Structure 1
Amino acid sequence: MDSGEPRWAGFFLVIEGIDGSGKTTQSTRLCERLNSEGLKALYTSEPSGGPVGLFIKEEVLGRGGFPPEVEALLFAADRFLHQRDVILPALNAGLIVVCDRYFYASLAYQGAQGVDLNWIRELNSFALKPDLALYLDVPPEVALARKKGKRDSLEYLELEGRVRSIYVKLALEGELIQVDGMGSIEEVGRRLYEEVKARIS
């Protein structure tokens, strides 16, 4: 990841979390609130809506069967295009970019499947360092209940448990700021908003 000082007029915010943590709901709500306050904010997500991102959604996440190393390569390719075509232009235009998942998701998800974390970091060495990266922490059991058991429960709990462990480790090492994801949508939203507002005021 590019660890240099930010070189843009805007603010790059990343929100991470396990599947079912509520990060998409909270990311969109936060973006709406910032815009309502007169701050120009853009919501975006990974996988992106670009050609590689759409392939990931349809084939990798939809059908599966890809080795985790190939998944990491595809996510990195999507991230490169997403950064070039969406994120960086918005930051240069002075917008607050709220990105639902980013580089850390590759560390967490492909790392949870046994891919070497240093290799993932090297693969994503082009990635911009966010101004703020938040991790919304929710136990897998709670996240599964929120998803109403849409996936195989045991498989989900095992994978997301490993993913959560990596996210927590990244937070302990200072790469992410951990935010309690338990409580009502309004309560969690307030916690996220306070973290962001303290840094953009």
Structure 2
Amino acid sequence: MRGHLIVIEGCDRSGKSTQCERLVTTLQQQGRKTQLFKFPDRTTQTGKMIDSYLKQSTHMDDHAIHLLFSANRWEAMSHMTSLLEQGTTIIVDRYAFSGVCFSAAKGLDFEWCRQPDVGLLTPDVVMFMDLSMDEAEKRGGFGEERYEKRELQLKVRQEFQKMMDSSWKIIDASKSKDQVYNDMMAVIKSLDSNPGPLKQDLWK
């Protein structure tokens, strides 16, 4: 039986990374094979270029950086597919939805932004960590990277709202860390214990 593909999305400083690591630890302690993937993966060649861009060390055309983010996700697909088919559940900290929303917020065409990621693995669930911009700005580290600007983050949030459908689970990220964790674990527990064949048809 294959593992679940669980994607965690949200604007910056919503607590995604903290909760992703906690969820992975809990599932592993429960005896469930689980692995964390973060996008961008800054350890690969494309990831190092993205890291330099995000830290504002280099400049790149908006279209080019969008394609680089997409390539970074495609690099991981064969490995992720193999793990899922072997029964490993994967928690993903940001996915193609972030890629589209951030680039569209910068003014690129929404449909053009989706095209490079057509055919990626389709998640079993997407959890969106919802946090107001006022709350995000109060959290440590906000503003350190290129995209952590209030105006852009507000636009990103609007793009996410356009992309959401009934399958997305909205998590109130303004709650305490423990409450947020409990809400996310409840979503994971509700997933079909036999998820069926793996799908590589994102946006097809």
TM over 0.5: yes
Correspondence list, 1:72-111, <5 A: 72-84=66-78, 86-111=79-104
Root mean square deviation, CA, Å: 1.8
Corresponding residue pairs, total:
189
Are 2:5 and 2:124, in contact at CA under 8 Å, matched by a contact in 1? yes
Tell me the distance in 1 between the aligned counterparts of 2:63 and 2:129.
25
Deviation at 1:163, TM superposition (A): 0.8
When the two structures are superposed, what TM-score results if normalisation uses the length of structure 1?
Answer: 0.87
Aligned-pair identity (%): 28
Matched, 1:192 2:184: yes
Matched, 1:119 2:117: no
Are 1:80 and 1:126, in contact at CA under 8 Å, matched by a contact in 2? no
Are 2:125 and 2:167, in contact at CA under 8 Å, matched by a contact in 1? no
Q: Partner amino acid for 2:187?
A: E
1:29 alignment partner, one of 22, 28, 31: 22
Cα deviation, 1:97-131, whole Å, max 9, x if unaligned, reads: 00100010111111110111111211111311111
Q: 1:197 to 1:175 in 2, by over 3 A?
A: closer
When the two structures are superposed, what TM-score results if normalisation uses the length of structure 2?
Answer: 0.86
1:70 alignment partner, one of 35, 43, 64: 64
Matched residue, 1:176: 168
Are 1:111 and 1:117, in contact at CA under 8 Å, matched by a contact in 2? yes
SS at match of 2:128: strand
Which structure's residues are more often helix, by fraction?
1
Are 1:136 and 1:180, in contact at CA under 8 Å, matched by a contact in 2? yes
Cα deviation, 1:28-61, whole Å, max 9, x if unaligned, reads: 101111111111110110011322112211x221
Deviation at 1:150, TM superposition (A): 4.3
Deviation at 1:194, TM superposition (A): 0.5
Tell me the distance in 1 between the aligned counterparts of 2:13 and 2:46.
23
Deviation at 1:151, TM superposition (A): 3.8
Q: Structure 1 unaligned segments of length 5 or more: list them.
A: 1-7
